[in-house]
Amino acid sequence: MDTKKLIEAFKNAKVGFVSFPYTNKKNETSKLLVNIGVSYGNAKKKDIDTLDNFLKLSDLGYVKDERYTRADWETAMNELSFALKSPDKSRSDGQSNAYVSITENGVIQWCIATQELVIVANLVRKEVIEEGEYKADTRKPLTIAKDTIRKHYLTTGKYRKYIIKNLAGNIKISGEVLEIE
């Protein structure tokens, strides 16, 4: 793969959709469509408004599931709202210090610890091509409730980091197709 060509393509793509096949750590292969032209900061503001509006309502957008209780759901809503409004400073600093932005828009970053290039983008669509090997779900009820809220209601819950070495096939950026070996 020509890393310089890939970085240049992302530098020039200020707004838009990117499509690529990806294999994750669990050996699941999927075709992804991501949006690299959206602001995480704006998404965070929108999510704060969404949670504040839900917290004013009596039903809190409740999604019933036997894996958690209504109390878990309400606690999850409150904890997610608090986390977005008052993020943990040491965790935020840790994330900031762990990556170096390669592109101005922050889409391509360098992970200092793993020495890998990473794409940061908003997941729009995922089509699983080959199933991976996943262990049984051992998350606690509160965690399941938080993940459900993130999935159904929060934009920030759709942001992902993709390790570039796990790309396979062709990546399409703003109409230009780059071959990945």
pLDDT in tens, 23-68: 999 999 999 999 887 888 899 999 999 998 887 776 667 888 999 9
**Residue that wins the pLDDT comparison between 135 and 92:** 135
Length of the chain: 181
- For 124-167, the pLDDT digits (tens) are 999 999 999 999 999 999 999 999 999 989 999 999 999 887 77
174, pLDDT greater than 70: no
Tell me the C-alpha distance between 23 and 180, whole Å. Answer: 13
At residue 181 the predicted structure's pLDDT band, cuts being 50, 70 and 90, is: low
Tell me the C-alpha distance between 143 and 126, whole Å. Answer: 22
> CB 16: neighbour CB atoms within 10 A?
14
Region of 175 on the Ramachandran plot (φ > 0 left; ψ -120 to 50 alpha; else beta):
left
Q: Give the dihedral sign, CA 164/88/64/144.
A: positive
Mean predicted lDDT score pLDDT of the chain = 85
Name the nearest CA neighbour of 108 among 29, 41, 34: 34
90, pLDDT greater than 90: no
Tell me the C-alpha distance between 108 and 113, whole Å. Answer: 15
What residue segments make up the domains of the chain, in order of their start? 3-180
